Amino acid sequence: MSAVTLQVQLGARTYEIVIGDGLLNDISNIIQGSVDAQIVVVSNILVYPLYGVPLEAALRKAGMRVFSIVLPDGEVNKDWPTLDKIFDSLLENACDRKTMLIALGGGVIGDMVGFAAAIYQRGIPFIQIPTTLLAQVDSSVGGKTAINHRLGKNMVGAFYQPRRVVIDIATLASLPEREYRSGLAEIIKYGVALDADFYNWIEQNIDLLLQREPAALMYAIRRSCEIKASVVGDDEYETKGGRALLNFGHTFGHAIESALGYGVWLHGEAVASGMVMATNFSCAMGRIDLKTTERIIDVIKRTGLPLRPPDIPADVMLMHMSRDKKNENGDIHLILLDAIGASSLDGTVKRDAIHNYLANLPNINQ
């Protein structure tokens, strides 16, 4: 299977997303043009032994200067103390502003390393090498970087684009099933919120995706990255409305993650249940019909991802939703559906209506 190269068009900061099977075997050639200084691979205790050790060896063999920083694993460690470990190590090794960070891991590593790159010595370059499905289809592209705050998910961060994204689908072979399915949620999101043709394709190919069939996987990753690249190219800083649509299901989903405690539900699990809530809410508001609603919920159901949120009181959900970054002037802004593939940002929904919906969620069989 040959590699595919896409571009995120951002003027002088335009960068490539390279997608292929086995790309890490050729990593020094792929990144050669982007690196002329010290490389620092930042990974975690789980991913580093699998892909970091051979990556470091390959870069060294190609004559590059490289060392690694190995962080603890998990969403619960996407925080200041862990971020600070990156700065400790960069400073102990006298890393200057030409240092290139490589984020090797899932979305937690990607978001955290991106943020470290954004603020270390006021900004150094970084490359994303995502190793989870979720990171390959979403978080590694587009330059949203962040850590969590105890009062809210991804609340401290920066927009900061990588120099390149290298997606090797071979790394998915070691990904646990639960994590893999979590990534499917973000793929479904693109179809439901933005692209009806892609949604139809997902509906027809969901079983192949569940089997990790390479051609289906390659297409789903490529199409997701194409959609994301196009949205980010048009609305990098989420000021024009387009990029916010990538947050379909996330207002509810982030509230679930924050309310439960980070890492209890996976991001994709919270997003799946959040998409069901946003879909049902769109239906309750008369924006989409019942047949469309059932079609969307059925695809999510086939992935085995949660359809119902965990037991969180409506008041608590609403409090967390009130801290969402899309909100303005105290109003909660939701992404709602007008059809499959057509979503919009709505800031006019009254809190009472959201509370009432959360307190009386429709009964859905898992």
Q: Which residues are catalytic?
A: 122, 144, 186, 228, 238, 243, 247, 250, 254, 267
In the set 56, 73, 111, 138, which binds ligand GLY (CB under 6 A)?
Answer: 138
Q: Does 267 bind ligand GLY (CB under 6 A)?
A: no
Q: Does 144 bind ligand GLY (CB under 6 A)?
A: yes
Of residues 253 and 306, the one with the C-beta less far from ligand GLY: 253
In the set 134, 221, 246, 299, which binds ligand GLY (CB under 6 A)?
Answer: 246
Of residues 224 and 282, the one with the C-beta less far from ligand NAD: 224
Coil, strand or helix at 72: coil
Q: Does 171 bind ligand NAD (CB under 6 A)?
A: yes
Tell me the two tokens of residue 97. Answer: 């502003």
Q: Does 276 bind ligand NAD (CB under 6 A)?
A: no
Tell me the two tokens of residue 60. Answer: 């060294």
**Nearest distance in Å: CB 189, ligand GLY:** 9
**Nearest distance in Å: CB 10, ligand GLY:** 13
Of residues 272 and 283, the one with the C-beta less far from ligand NAD: 272
Q: Which residues contact 218 (CB under 8 A, 6 or more apart)?
A: 1, 4, 19, 21, 169
Coil, strand or helix at 145: strand
Residue closest to 24 by CA, chosen among 45, 53, 44, 46:
53
Q: Answer for the pair 139, 132: CB distance below 8 angstroms, yes or no.
A: no
Q: Answer for the pair 226, 233: CB distance below 8 angstroms, yes or no.
A: no
In the set 101, 144, 256, 307, which binds ligand NAD (CB under 6 A)?
Answer: 144
In the set 55, 124, 135, 297, which binds ligand NAD (CB under 6 A)?
Answer: 135
What is the number of the residue whose Cβ is closest to ligand GLY? 246
Q: Which stretch binds ligand NAD (CB under 6 A): 15-23, 108-116, 286-294, 303-311?
A: 108-116
In the set 142, 162, 253, 268, which binds ligand GLY (CB under 6 A)?
Answer: 142
Which amino acid type is present at position 243? R
Q: Which residues contact 333 (CB under 8 A, 6 or more apart)?
A: 244, 251, 324, 326, 327, 345, 346, 347
Q: Using CB distances below 5 to 8 A depending on partner kind, what does residue 243 bind out of ligand NAD, ligand GLY, none?
A: ligand GLY
Q: Does 46 bind ligand NAD (CB under 6 A)?
A: yes
Q: Which residues contact 252 (CB under 8 A, 6 or more apart)?
A: 270, 273, 274, 277, 278, 309, 317, 321
Q: Token pair 């004559």 is at which residue?
A: 63
Q: Using CB distances below 5 to 8 A depending on partner kind, what does residue 132 bind out of ligand GLY, ligand NAD, none?
A: ligand NAD
Coil, strand or helix at 45: coil
Burial 235-264 (b: 16+ CB within 10 A, else e): bbebeeebbbbbbbbbbbbbbbbbbbebbe
Q: Does 83 bind ligand NAD (CB under 6 A)?
A: no
Element (H, E) at 219: helix 214-234
Tell me the two tokens of residue 51. Answer: 């892909």
**CB half-sphere exposure, 52, CA atoms < 13 A:** 24
In the set 82, 99, 128, 131, which binds ligand NAD (CB under 6 A)?
Answer: 131
* Site of interaction with ligand NAD (CB under 6 A): 44, 46-47, 50, 73-75, 78, 105-109, 111, 131-132, 134-135, 138-139, 142, 144, 154, 171, 174-175, 179, 182, 267
Q: Binding residues for ligand GLY, per CB under 6 A? A: 138, 142, 144, 243, 246-247
